[in-house]
Structure 1
Amino acid sequence: MVGGTEKSLRRVNVGVKAWQDNLTGRNDELYTDVSFGYTQKFVLGYTLPYIDRKLRHGIGFSASFSRNREINYISEENKQQFFRQDDFLRRQMAFGVSYTYRKAISTRHQAFLTYHSENVADTVARLNPNYLGEGRTAVHYAELVYRLDYIQADSWQYPLVGQSFRGEVSKAGLGPLNDIDFVKIRLKGAKYWQYAPKTYGAVSLLGQVKFPNDLPYAASRALGYGDDYLRGLEYYVVDGTAFFILKNTLRRELLNFKVRLPIVPKKFSNLPIRVLAKAYGDMGYGYSKLGLRGDLSNRMLYTAGLGLDVVSFYDTCIRFEYSINQLGEKGLFLHAKLDM
C-alpha cells in the first residue's frame, strides 16, 4: 500500500531502553535500545570517556541493526511518501568506533569511523530507482567523521546565557566501501543572552552542504529530517544537498518552583519546574540541483509563532508551540527537545 492510513495492532512497536552509568567505576556507560513489532531495532553501545590519567582521551563503540516494514521511498510536494507491506522492506546495519579528546571542559574533539550497510526490497528500487541510486537494492560504505564541540553557557541542555558551536566534516565512501560517496560539511552556532531580569534572547544558525550534488535519494535529505526543521514546517521536507536554518527566540520566565514528590528517594523528591513563554521567528533555504519534489525547494522559507517551554530535571524540555508558516498554515506542535 502506498500512502494512506491504517489502524492495526500489527503496527504496534514494543521496546525497552536501558543504560548503566559508571559500569566499571570510570564514569563509563553501557547502553542498549531494543524494539520489537512492526519496526525492529537493536542498538548496543559503550563509551569510556577517559583512558588516561590526565582525563583527556576517551573511546567508544556502537553496533546497530534495524528492519522496517514501512519505508519513506520518495518525496512529493515536499511530503514524505511511504510504502508498506507485511514483509520487511529495509534492513540497516552499522558498526562504529569513536575517539574523543577533551583538553578543556568547554571544548571537545571527536572522530568516528563507521561501517554502514543498507538493503531494500526489489519493490523499493522499482518504485524509486534513485532511492539507493542506479536501481540498486544494497549499498555498503564506510564513513569517517570529525566533530568539534564548543559550549560555554549556564546549561548544556537548556542554555539561556552563553554561546555554543559545533563543526563537523565527514567523508562517506572509503576505499572499496564506497557505494555511497560524498563529503559533508555542517556548522552550527548559537548565542544566548539576557535582556532583562527573567527575559532572554537566543539566535542560532545552522548550515550544511554535501558534495557532489547528484546523490541518491537516501543521501539527499535536507530540511525537515531529524532536528533540522523550521518551527511551523514540521510536516514538510525539502530534499537536496545544501540548506541553512536561522532561528530567533525571545523567552520570558513565568514560573519557577519545585514540587515535592512522594515515594521516590529523597535525592530526587524535589522536582524543579520552570515555565517560559516565548515568541520566535525562523527562516531557511534548501537547495536541490534539480529543483525537484515540491515548491519549497530553492526558495526562502519563513515561519513564526508563540509557545511555552516547560523545563525540569537535567534541563529536559517539553515545548508547546503554535506556529504559522508562509503557506498560511497554522498549527499547535508538541516537542520534547530544545529548539535551538
Structure 2
Amino acid sequence: MLLRASLFILLLLIGAVALAGPCAVPAVVVAEVELSGNETTKPQVMLRELTFAPGDTIPADELEPLLEENQKRLFNLRLFHYVNYTYTCEEGQVRVNYEVQERFYLYPIPIFDFADRNFNAWLEKRDWSRIDYGINLIRKNFRGRNEEVRVRVQRGFNKRLELGYRIPYIWRKYNLGADFAVSDYRSRTISYTNYNNRQRFFEQEEGVPIKRTAVSAALIHRQDVQRQEGLRLAYYSEAVSDSVTFLNPEYYKEARGERQYLRVELYKVVNRRNNFAYPTAGTYLEAGVSQTLFLQQTGSPFTTARAKYVQYVPLSDRLFYMAGAEGQLRLAGRHAFADNVALGYRSYVRGYELYVIGGQHYGLFKQGLTRQLLDIKSINLTFIDNPKFNHIPLSVYLNGFTDAGYVVDDAFEDGNPLTNRLLLGGGLGLHVVTFYDIVLRLEYTLNREGDKGFYFSARFPF
C-alpha cells in the first residue's frame, strides 16, 4: 500500500511538472484572450484597453506584471465593480481570461444640494431657501460602447438644464472621440463683488439677476484610459440685470449687462494613478491653454493657461504620501470681475473654504500623509439579489495634510487682504471610500489667519 501510494504521488508530481514545464520557457505566446461577465459591455471596448493581443510574444517573467497592469486598466474604465484574471500555460501557449462584474449603468441621482460653493459656505448662512433640487440622470456605457448620456434637470434656488453626450470613438483608426453639451443656467442671486474675500450677493425679487447659456463640442484623441488630449470649442451667452451693473460696473466691464463669447481650449491629461477614485500610487498630469474671444465688442480677449501635477507614493502596504501642485496664468488687457476667478471654488487651500480669493494668477501646493485604517473588499447584502448592488466595498483612511497657495490680483485686490499673500492651511481628516467611487471627507483644519473648524466634502482632495 505504501509503495502504491508513493508511486501515485510521484505520478501526480510528474504530471504537475509536465503541465508547469512549458511555462518555464524564456518567452510565451498569447494564444487567446477570453472575456466573461460582460453582458452589456461590447468585447471591443475591453480589448482596446489591453496592451497585448493574441499572437504577441511576452517574456515569461513579464507575464504576471503585464496581466496585473491590464487588470488595472480595465478597472479604471469605471465600468466594473471588479476585474479578475486567470491564465493557463501549455507548451509555451498562454490563454488569458478576464472576468468582470458589471456595474449598474443607469444613475438616476436625486439632486438635493446647497446653492453655495460648498457645504460650509451654506452652513454659515443656514438659509433653507438656498437649496437646489431635481434629478441628474446619467446613462453610462450606453449601447455597451462606453458612451455616456447626461441629463440634468435642476430647480430650486439655482435652475439648470443640461444635456450631454460623450462617445469614446467616432474614428477608431485615429482613436478620436467626441463630447457634446448644451446647458442653461439661471439663479435667484448673484455674487456681484468680493469684500474681505467674502462674496457679496444680490437677490432680485422678480425675475433672475443672471442667465447663462452654453453650447460646446470637443474632439478627443484618446490613446487609452490613461492618456488623452482634446480640442474644445464652446459658445457662451450671458446676461445680468441692470441692478448688478449698477452695484458693480466692472462686472462685465465694456459689456455692461450682456456679452457673448467663444472659447477655444486645448488640453492634455496623463492619468497614471492606480485608482481613479482614491489613488495611492502613480502620477497625474493635466495641462491646458484656452483663448476667449468676445463677440460684438462685449469684452476684452484673454488667454488662460493651467497645469496640474500630482505624485502618489506608497510607503508601505497601508501608508501613502501625496504631493502636488497646480497653477494658472491669465493674460488680458483688461479684466472683468466675472472672469477674476482663482481660489475658493473647485481649487482652494484647505482651511479657507469660507473665503474667495479672486485673481488672474495663482499657485497651489498640497501634500498629505495617509494611513489606511480599514479595507473591506465587499460587504455582502444578502437581502438584495442583484449582484450590481449587493456587494459594497468600504475603505477608511486617516489623512494628515498641509496646503499652501498664492493668488496674484492686480485688478480687484482692494478690500481683499488675502490676495497677494501666502495662504497656509493644514489639518487632519477622515476619508471614506465606498460604493460606486463615492468619496466622503471630514477634515479639521487650521489656517494662517487662525481660523479653525470642521469641513465636509464629497470628492477627492487633489
Task: Give the TM-score normalised by the residue count of structure 1.
Answer: 0.93
Partner of 1:20: 139
- Of 209, 233, 248, the residue aligned with 2:367 is 248
Partner of 1:283: 404
Note the C-alpha offset of 1:6: 7.9
> Residue 157 of structure 1 contacts residue 314 of structure 1 at CA under 8 Å; is this kept in 2?
no
> 2: CA distance between counterparts of 1:79 and 1:56?
45
> Residue 125 of structure 1 contacts residue 135 of structure 1 at CA under 8 Å; is this kept in 2?
no
- Of 145, 158, 170, the residue aligned with 2:290 is 170
> 2: CA distance between counterparts of 1:156 and 1:8?
34
> 2: CA distance between counterparts of 1:115 and 1:164?
29
Structure 1 letter corresponding to 2:301: D
Percent of matched pairs sharing the same residue: 31
Q: 1:292 to 1:135 in 2, by over 3 A?
A: farther
Partner of 2:299: 179
> Residue 184 of structure 2 contacts residue 213 of structure 2 at CA under 8 Å; is this kept in 1?
yes
Structure 1 letter corresponding to 2:447: N
The answer to whether the aligner puts 1:39 opposite 2:161 as a matched pair is no
Deviates more, 1:54-63 or 1:122-131: 54-63
> 1: CA distance between counterparts of 2:362 and 2:402?
17
- Of 388, 394, 416, the residue aligned with 1:294 is 416
Deviates more, 1:152-161 or 1:88-97: 152-161
- Of 181, 206, 210, the residue aligned with 2:330 is 210
> 2: CA distance between counterparts of 1:25 and 1:118?
37
What secondary structure sits across from 1:125 in the alignment? helix
Structure 2 letter corresponding to 1:286: V
> 1: CA distance between counterparts of 2:307 and 2:211?
30
RMSD: 1.9
- Of 296, 300, 318, the residue aligned with 1:198 is 318
> 2: CA distance between counterparts of 1:256 and 1:103?
32
> Residue 254 of structure 2 contacts residue 298 of structure 2 at CA under 8 Å; is this kept in 1?
no
The answer to whether the aligner puts 1:51 opposite 2:170 as a matched pair is yes
> Residue 239 of structure 1 contacts residue 293 of structure 1 at CA under 8 Å; is this kept in 2?
no
> Residue 93 of structure 1 contacts residue 117 of structure 1 at CA under 8 Å; is this kept in 2?
yes
> Residue 140 of structure 1 contacts residue 180 of structure 1 at CA under 8 Å; is this kept in 2?
no
Structure 1 letter corresponding to 2:384: I
> Residue 255 of structure 2 contacts residue 297 of structure 2 at CA under 8 Å; is this kept in 1?
no
Partner of 2:274: 154
- Of 267, 276, 281, the residue aligned with 2:388 is 267
Structure 2 letter corresponding to 1:198: R
> 1: CA distance between counterparts of 2:279 and 2:125?
39
> 2: CA distance between counterparts of 1:77 and 1:281?
24
> Residue 255 of structure 2 contacts residue 298 of structure 2 at CA under 8 Å; is this kept in 1?
no
> 1: CA distance between counterparts of 2:256 and 2:295?
19
Structure number with greater Rg is 2
Partner of 1:138: 258
What secondary structure sits across from 1:339 in the alignment? coil
> Residue 213 of structure 1 contacts residue 241 of structure 1 at CA under 8 Å; is this kept in 2?
no
Structure 1 letter corresponding to 2:403: D
Partner of 1:307: 429
Note the C-alpha offset of 1:141: 0.2
Matching of residues 80-99 of structure 1 within 5 Å? 80-86=199-205, 87-99=207-219
- Alpha-carbon displacement from aligned partner over 1:254-310 (angstroms, at most 9, x marks no partner): 111232223261233111100000100000100011433411110111001001110
Point out the structure with the larger helix share: 2
- Alpha-carbon displacement from aligned partner over 1:71-105 (angstroms, at most 9, x marks no partner): 01100000111111222110000001011002244
Point out the structure with the larger strand share: 1
Deviates more, 1:88-97 or 1:251-260: 251-260
> 1: CA distance between counterparts of 2:450 and 2:333?
31
> 2: CA distance between counterparts of 1:55 and 1:316?
33
Q: 1:331 to 1:12 in 2, by over 3 A?
A: closer
> 2: CA distance between counterparts of 1:56 and 1:84?
47
Q: 1:28 to 1:85 in 2, by over 3 A?
A: same
> 2: CA distance between counterparts of 1:289 and 1:231?
24
- Of 328, 334, 339, the residue aligned with 2:450 is 328
Partner of 2:18: none
Note the C-alpha offset of 1:29: 1.4
> 2: CA distance between counterparts of 1:208 and 1:175?
24
Number of paired residues? 335
Structure 1 gap ranges (5+): none
Q: 1:252 to 1:71 in 2, by over 3 A?
A: same
